């Protein structure tokens, strides 16, 4: 299956305890960890755990923790879309979304 240039790319779930959350998703859903990343988003340090997509063409599931925050904000999630057109970003902004270029 070939992905089009525009598709849903990932879900980043914000958590307070990366290792405990990763153990939960491995145990309950059988997810396979593919890597860990230390980086930043909008100047804030983060740590992430990435899991393999669960099927061909499926989105990547990521657990994310802001290093400067003891607890995750309730119900906060980051969604990622792969796109090649600025009109999608403009439309998202008009609807209240924010764009953080990677």
Per the domain annotation, does 86 fall within a domain?
yes
In this predicted structure, the answer to whether residue 3 has a pLDDT above a threshold of 50 is no
- Residue 75, classed as helix, strand or coil, is coil
Residue pLDDT, tens place only, 46-78: 999 999 988 777 778 889 998 987 766 665 666
Strand order, beta sheet including 60-66: 33-41, 44-51, 60-66, 7-14, 77-82
Residues 22 and 63: beta-carbon distance below 8 Å: yes
pLDDT for 13: 85
Mean pLDDT of 26-41: 92
Residue pLDDT, tens place only, 38-48: 999 888 899 99
Per the domain annotation, does 1 fall within a domain?
no
Q: The CATH number of the domain where 23 resides is what?
A: 3.10.180.10
Domains held by the chain: number: 1
Per the domain annotation, does 37 fall within a domain?
yes
pLDDT for 8: 62
Containing domain of residue 37, as a range?
7-94
Global model pTM greater than 0.85: no
Per the domain annotation, does 59 fall within a domain?
yes
Per the domain annotation, does 2 fall within a domain?
no
Give the phi and the psi of residue 57 in degrees, each rounded to 5. Answer: 80, 0
């Amino acid at each position: 299956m070939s992905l089009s240039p525009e598709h849903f790319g990932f879900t980043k779930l914000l958590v307070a305890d990366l290792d405990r959350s990763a153990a939960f998703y491995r145990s309950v859903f059988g997810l396979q960890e593919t890597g860990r990343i230390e980086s930043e988003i909008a100047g804030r340090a983060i740590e992430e755990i990435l899991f393999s997509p669960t099927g061909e063409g499926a989105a990547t599931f990521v657990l994310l923790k802001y290093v400067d925050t003891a607890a995750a904000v309730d119900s906060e999630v980051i969604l990622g879309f792969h796109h090649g057109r600025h009109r999608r970003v403009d439309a998202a902004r008009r609807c209240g979304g924010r764009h953080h270029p990677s």
